[in-house]
Structure 1
Amino acid sequence: MPRTVPEVHTDLVLEPRDVHFDWTGLPLHWIPDEPFATHTINVLHLLLPEGERWFVEVFKEALPLVRDEQLREEVLGFVGQEAIHAEAHQQVLDHLLAQGLDPRPYVRQIAWLFQRVLGPKPRLTARRRRENVIERVAFVAAIEHFTAFLGNWALNSPGLDRAGADPTMLDLLRWHGAEEVEHRSVAFDLLVHLDPGYLRRVRGMLLGGPLLVHLWVRGVRFLLAADPSLDGRVQPSWKAAWHVARRGMLPDPVQSLRSGIRYLKPGYHPTQEGSSAQALSYLAGSPAARAAAGAH
């Protein structure tokens, strides 16, 4: 079945919001008495600073290939938002280090992956360099699908409120999640603009999806082992993840898998995920976003 190439959304205006968070009062287990749930979500802080800086560099490389002015503006807005996301999560890493949990060994591995393995290849011919850029855009589009899924979950996760999660961390997760929902179509639309075929999109997901799961599992294991307050007492397991997800503190693993499968449908477009109206509504009321807006 042929896939309909989506048109760029003419009403999308992406605004980087220069938000700041005060982490001085953040407890190590910001979901009270739930170290497994806390650290499973904390993997975001390990992956996103290096990952989103890599997104920014890939999109900057892709920008000269864009021939649509509206899409070009969306890509620039995306780059601005992702750069701020990276710094917001970096601040949480600095706070973890101050509390005695050293994230740097894992983060160094993530940096090596994005900078060396997935980084630019300057010695390629011009044609192969262009193909390499588009291949990495496909990778970004696949990962952005899951960040939009996670963002939508964060906006609709009352289980975290019921568990008494730290309000500043909740605002970070929901502010970031809302912006992921807001710009959920940009990477996909850029990929379609550069390569309207189906094969590259599938390849991006078949490579990116399993890699993301692998990195997340390793991140949970690392954080639980590195947490100085646990002394190895909490061991990660899929059973524990399922139990915590059923209580609403983590995304449902089955829904996560179904989300990845949706991406592979020929007629798929990211506008089928989440609600822009809900995302913008949260951003209008987010304490951090409102403070950033008031500072300008």
Structure 2
Amino acid sequence: MSHIDPGEPDRVVLQARDVEFDWSKLPMHWIPGEPFATHVINFLHLVLPEGERWFVEVFKQALPLIKDDQLLEDVRGFVGQEAMHAESHQGVLDHFDAHGMDTRPYVEQVGWMFRKVLGDRPYGGRRAESWLVQRLAMIAAIEHYTAFLGQWVLDAKALDAAGADPTMLDLLRWHGAEEVEHRSVAYDLYMHVDGSYLRRCHAMVIAMVVLAVLWVRGVKYLMAADPVLRGRRKPRWRDMLRTGRMGLTPSYWQMLRSIPAYFRRSYHPSQHGSTSQAIAYLAKSPAAQAAEH
């Protein structure tokens, strides 16, 4: 979904919502009869806790570089929301681990990537600031994807029609709505501290490749570790085509179509997605409303 809507709010005050989810009744295949589609989306639980904790740490390091009060407020709101996202997805992993699907080996690999490959380095001065800026560019690129996925899940009525677990849908849509709500923050922060067009494009190319590899490997891992399937089903590319056509997963075409906009010099995240739709979902999300009251 891409548009510029004059009816969209100019700015939203970002707030972390102290949500809780009860996973005691979550079935292993929470999209009934669709283990592949279930695990394509479950991949997000594998990477988001470690990834979003990394976002938080990098953004905290960037706070002294921010010279704009409004951006500083947005970044603090973003940090609060991302920390809550990490803990909420961690709850799903804990549930899977307790019910016979050991996600720890894959999650440890993801943690190594964020902590060691993309973590702090013993640099000082300009090298330290350059490494920080490179990571901010990477987060801005990743947030382009998370905003796309957030809008996708808000629009994905096929998941409701397929009988997807309502608690999982609420987690995904609450998280997706907040990704749409704060979709401009990482980009605005990167542009504020650096703004190099070439660095921005380079970071997106790296993010595209890494995310694609992680996703393919993650779905293979989940299908193999699934205690119900017991290795009897292998993920196939045609499964992605089929579930994409059904609207149960983002289609190849939707994912590919979301990328070129980022390479336009005139790009800004506010041009894509609907803040008003995100706010409308948060106003009715069971978890978000329970947190409010």
1:20 aligns with 2:20: yes
- Per the alignment, residue 232 of structure 2 pairs with 233
1:196 shift after superposition: 2.2
Q: Deviation at 1:10?
A: 6.9
Q: Tell me the CA shift for residue 147 of structure 1.
A: 0.4
1:117 and 2:117 aligned: yes
* Corresponding position of 2:152: 153
Q: Please tell me whether residue 266 in structure 1 is matched to residue 265 in structure 2.
A: yes
Q: Residues 100 and 228 of structure 1 are in contact (CA less than 8 Å); yes or no, is this contact kept in structure 2?
A: yes
* Secondary structure of 1:86 counterpart: helix
| TM-fit CA distance, 1:257 | 1.1
Match of 2:4 in 1: none
**Matches of 1:162 and 1:255, distance apart in 2:** 20
Residue 68 of structure 1: aligned partner: 68
* Distance (Å, rounded) in 2 between the aligned partners of 1:12 and 1:155: 18
User: Which residue of structure 1 aligns with residue 186 of structure 2?
Assistant: 187
Superposed displacement of residue 39, structure 1: 0.6
Counterpart of 2:27 in 1: which secondary structure? Answer: coil
Give the letter for the 1:281 counterpart: A
- SS across alignment from 1:43: helix
1:222 aligns with 2:221: yes
d(CA) in 2 for partners of 1:70 and 1:99?
45
Tell me the residue number matched to 2:196: 197
Structure-1 separation of matches of 2:188 and 2:233: 42
Q: Deviations over 1:201-234 (max 9, x none)?
A: 1011011111011101110000000011112121
The answer for the alignment partner of 1:36 in structure 2 is: 36
Alpha-carbon contact 1:106-1:219 (below 8 Å) kept = yes
- Count of aligned pairs between the two proteins: 285
Contact 2:101 2:226 in 1 (8 A): yes
Letter in 1 for 2:181: E
> Equivalences for 1:52-91 in 2 at 5 Å?
52-91=52-91
Between the aligned partners of 2:255 and 2:62, the Cα distance in structure 1 is 29
2:100 corresponding residue in structure 1: 100
Cα distance in 2, alignment partners of residues 130 and 197 from structure 1: 14
Tell me how far apart the structure 2 counterparts of residues 150 and 11 of structure 1 sit (CA, whole Å): 21
Q: Distance in 2 between matches of 1:59 and 1:182?
A: 17
Letter of the 2:197 counterpart: Y
Structure 1 counterpart of 2:58, which letter? V
Deviations 1:153-186 (A, max 9, x none): 0000011011100000000000000000000000
SS of residue matched to 1:285: coil
Pairwise CA distance, 1:287: 0.3
Once residues 159 and 116 of structure 2 are traced to their aligned partners in structure 1, the CA distance between those partners, rounded to angstroms, is 36
C-alpha displacement of 1:255 = 1.5
- Give, in whole Å, the separation in 2 of the partners of 1:218 and 1:265: 30
Q: Report how far residue 262 of structure 1 moved.
A: 1.1
C-alpha separation between the residues in 2 aligned to 1:55 and 1:260?
21
The residue aligned with 2:6 is none
Structure 1 alignment gaps of length 5 or more: 1-8
Alignment of 1:280-291 (within 5 A): 280-291=279-290
**CA apart distance, 1:197:** 2.2
TM-score, with structure 2 as normaliser: 0.96
Deviations 1:229-271 (A, max 9, x none): 1121211122110111100100121111111111111111001
Q: Indicate conservation of the 8 Å contact 1:138/1:191, yes or no.
A: yes
The letter of the residue matching 1:193 is H
Q: Distance in 2 between matches of 1:103 and 1:274?
A: 32
Structure 2 CA distance for aligned equivalents of residues 276 and 146 of structure 1: 16
CA distance in structure 2 between the aligned counterparts of 1:256 and 1:272, rounded to whole angstroms: 17
Question: Does 1:248 find its partner at 2:247?
Answer: yes
2:171 maps to what in 1?
A: 172
Structure 1 distance, partners of 2:85, 2:77, is 13
CA contact (8 A) 2:243 2:251 kept: no
Q: Give distance in 1, aligned partners of 2:290 and 2:220.
A: 36
Aligned to 2:208: 209
Identity %: 60
Contact 1:10 1:70 in 2 (8 A): no
